[in-house]
Amino acid sequence: MKKHTLTITSLFVLATLLLSACNAIPASQATANNPGAEANAQATVAPAIQSQVGDTSGLLAAYEGALENVYTQVNPSVVNIQVVDRQGAADLDSGQFPFGFDTPEGNFPDVPEYSQGLGSGFVWDTEGHIVTNNHVVAGADQIEVTFSDGTTLPATLVGADSYSDLAVLKVENAGDLLRPVQVADSSQVKVGGLAIAIGNPYGLDGTMTLGIISALGRSLPASDGNTFGPVYSIPNVIQTDAPINPGNSGGVLVDENGQVVGVTAAIESSSNANAGIGFVIPSNIVSKVVPDLIDTGSYEHPYLGISGTDLSSEMVAAMDLSDGQRGVLVVTATEDGPAAKAGIRASADMATVDGLDVPVGGDVITGINGQPIKKMNELIAYLNDQTEVGQTVTLSLLRDAEETTLDVTLEARPSSTPVPSVVETLPEVREPATESGSAWLGIWGAQLTPEIAEAMNLSDDQQGVLVLQVENGSPAEEAGLQASDEEVTLSGQTVMIGGDIITALDGNPVSSLDELRSLIQTYQPDTEVTLSVLRNGETVEVPVILAERPSNLP
């Protein structure tokens, strides 16, 4: 008889397969537009094996059988998405999921060039709605959906929401190909639970990978890559070690019962391939956003209108607060935003902590509607999960070390503002002017766009400030920052590329010259800061001693 050896890990995974870990949301509760999901999930995928305890061959067979059942149930609901867009028009993938576009070669005058991309999606209902990531289809001129049997149908975009990175497509005349998924309650997901990803990595359709839930409560930047201004966060993001690769975007992460716990969206990797850290938009966000995208084409997110940071022990000391005080320090309040209208106070002072200037003096949010708040992520999650546009919430605050409350009526989060085309944004200007005597770096730069990033062989979602020129005698020159030295033609315009890309200052992300300027102005001249710089595809840390801005500069 052939001998089977099961590791402790295998036995643990098998035990997980055979026990339900998550409570499913019936399709009728997940959305009224999902009538086929309930029938789709009737089959039991966890076989009983009480009689096989101690029989390793039986355990192995049950383990394999359970996985096979999950795949048989879910794979027909997962689709391959192909998109085509005019060159430079779309940011087809963000996070760390570059697709590797195929562009035509040769000289074809008066014929537009096109880019192609691949992603994943899944069937939401029997009406033909398909859910995927917004970054998969953003800006696409043509979208096609291929089902597991090889049938390919054209699709139209019904609605999209960059702030949750979700989009809904629709196909017509799909008939029996429409096998909706069943959606689980992601609030019941636990670390250590089984995680099964199904999607189309590198275009390899119907690929299933296996892992566990690695962590909960992560957050992802919520931006379509084509916006100025604030970057928001997607809360309650699930982390998994199930292998996820380019092309998995928009696919599903399911539990041992084949129920969707989230949508695979991004990875953390230095090589843009699986490194065991994948991020998944939780199904509870999907269940809230998708019905509105189907009904209205958009989703309104509750908006408070602040930027904030977790209160650190150093800030507590600088603000003469009680030891161990927790909460969210309000750094800025958006002009005419809900919080500003209600009278919330932003930080107006600076304190030096470990040689760095940090904001202090603003209101500290310690609770919302009686729910204690210790971190910014908790505040974001509460607003997302428990509130709606137009609702009045009560913030518990510390103001000048005294407890108080403030009522704020939430508004809809502002729509993103499109970035001008590369022709309109290049060449960029000198480091934005500030008052003479303020801190100064000394560069000319440009906000990195997808077109520039592609020309520099970077991921098209890479953010930062490209150094175009370095001022003579400036701190930037003394620190050895490298200016652009290569000419390329983008959208008919000659621009310089190849220089350093500033991505952060003292760990604070930088995506535009205005952001860089704002961060620099929190420091005094003669202060040493550390720039995170992308140079020749590698990240290096560059120490810079800021100087006083010369009075003769414009």
Residues 72 and 42 in one domain: yes
In the numeric block, the tokens 């690929």 are attached to 207
Alpha helices by DSSP H, listed for 75-162, are 134-137
Same domain, 344 and 399: yes
254 and 390, same domain (yes or no): no
The verdict on residue 529 lying in a domain is yes
Please tell me which residue in 249, 287, 307, 484 is annotated as part of the active site: 249
Does 554 reside within a domain? no
**CATH code at 268?**
2.40.10.120
Same domain, yes or no: 291 and 306: no
**Which one of 285, 300, 315 terminates a domain?**
300
Of 120, 135, 347, 396, the active-site residue reads: 135
Please report whether residue 467 resides in a domain.
yes
How far is 132 from 488, CA to CA, in rounded Å? 34
What does the chain come to in residues?
Answer: 554
Q: What angle do CA 453, 459, 465 make, to 5 degrees?
A: 45
Q: Give the burial string for 482-495 (b: 16+ CB within 10 Å, else e).
A: ebbeeeeebeeeeb
Residue 249 appears among annotated catalytic residues: yes
Q: Are 512 and 447 in contact (CB under 8 A)?
A: yes
Q: What is the CATH number of the domain that holds 333?
A: 2.30.42.10
Whether residue 164 lies in the annotated active site: no
- Position 325 scores a pLDDT of 94
Residue with tokens 């430079």: 88
Answer whether residue 530 is part of any domain. Answer: yes
| Whether residue 307 is found in the same domain as residue 376 | yes
Alpha-carbon distance of 465 to 373, in angstroms, equals: 34
- Residue at which a domain ends, from 412, 443, 461: 412
- 553 is a domain residue: no
Q: Are residues 537 and 448 in the same domain?
A: yes
- The reply to whether 369 falls in a domain is yes
**Cα gap 426→465, rounded to integer Å:** 12
Among residues 520, 373, 360, which one has the least CA distance to residue 435? 520
Instruction: Kindly state whether residues 230 and 348 are assigned to the same domain.
Output: no
- pLDDT tens string, the chain, 554 residues long: the values are 333 444 434 444 444 444 433 334 333 344 444 444 444 444 444 444 444 445 667 788 888 888 999 999 999 999 999 998 654 333 333 333 333 233 333 333 343 455 678 899 999 999 999 999 999 998 888 999 999 999 999 999 999 998 999 999 999 999 999 999 999 999 999 999 999 999 999 989 999 999 999 999 998 887 544 333 456 789 999 999 999 998 999 999 999 999 999 999 988 776 667 788 999 999 999 999 999 999 999 999 999 999 888 998 888 988 989 999 999 999 888 888 999 999 999 988 888 777 767 788 899 999 999 999 999 999 999 999 999 999 999 999 999 989 999 999 999 988 743 333 332 333 333 444 444 457 889 888 888 888 888 888 888 789 899 988 887 778 998 999 998 877 666 654 556 788 899 999 999 999 887 788 888 888 888 899 999 999 988 899 999 999 887 754 44
Given the residues 85, 91, 125, 165, select the one marked as catalytic: 165
Pair (223, 117) in one structural domain: yes
Phi-psi region of 129 (alpha: psi -120 to 50; beta: other; left: phi over 0): beta
The span from the CA of 253 to the CA of 194, in Å, is: 10
Phi, psi of 44 (to 5 degrees): -85, 130
What domain count does the chain have?
A: 3
Residue 130 lies in domain? 1-300
- List CB contacts of 465: < 8 A, sequence separation 6 or more: 443, 445, 446, 447, 448, 501, 502, 510, 511, 512, 513, 516
In a domain, 417, yes or no: no
Do residue 100 and residue 212 come from a single domain?
A: yes
- What are the φ and ψ backbone dihedral angles of 15, each rounded to 5 degrees? -60, -40
Tell me if 79 sits within 8 A of 35, measured CB to CB.
no
* Per-residue confidence (pLDDT) for residue 208, from 0 to 100: 95
Is residue 134 in some structural domain? Answer: yes
Q: What is the pLDDT of residue 470?
A: 83
Residues 279 and 327 in one domain: no
C-alpha atoms less than 13 angstroms from C-alpha of 378 in its C-beta half-sphere: 16
Q: Which of 278, 300, 322 is the last residue of a domain?
A: 300
DSSP state of 402: E
Whether 162 and 76 map to the same domain: the answer is yes
Calculate the CA 530 to chain-centre distance. Answer: 25
Residues 317 and 355 in one domain: yes
